[in-house]
Amino acid sequence: MKDYKAQLEKLRTDAAECALIRDLASDKAKRELFDRLANHLTVLAEQVELAMLERDKGAGT
| Euclidean distance between the first and the last CA atom of the chain, given in angstroms as a whole number | 17
Q: With 90 as the cut, is the pLDDT of residue 31 above it?
A: yes
Average model confidence (pLDDT) across the chain: 92
Domain residue limits, the chain:
15-55
The per-residue pLDDT for 61 is: 54
Cβ within 8 Å of residue 21, ≥6 positions away: 30, 34
The per-residue pLDDT for 1 is: 67
Percent of the chain with pLDDT over 70: 95
Lowest mean pLDDT segment, chosen from 2-6, 32-36, 48-52 = 2-6
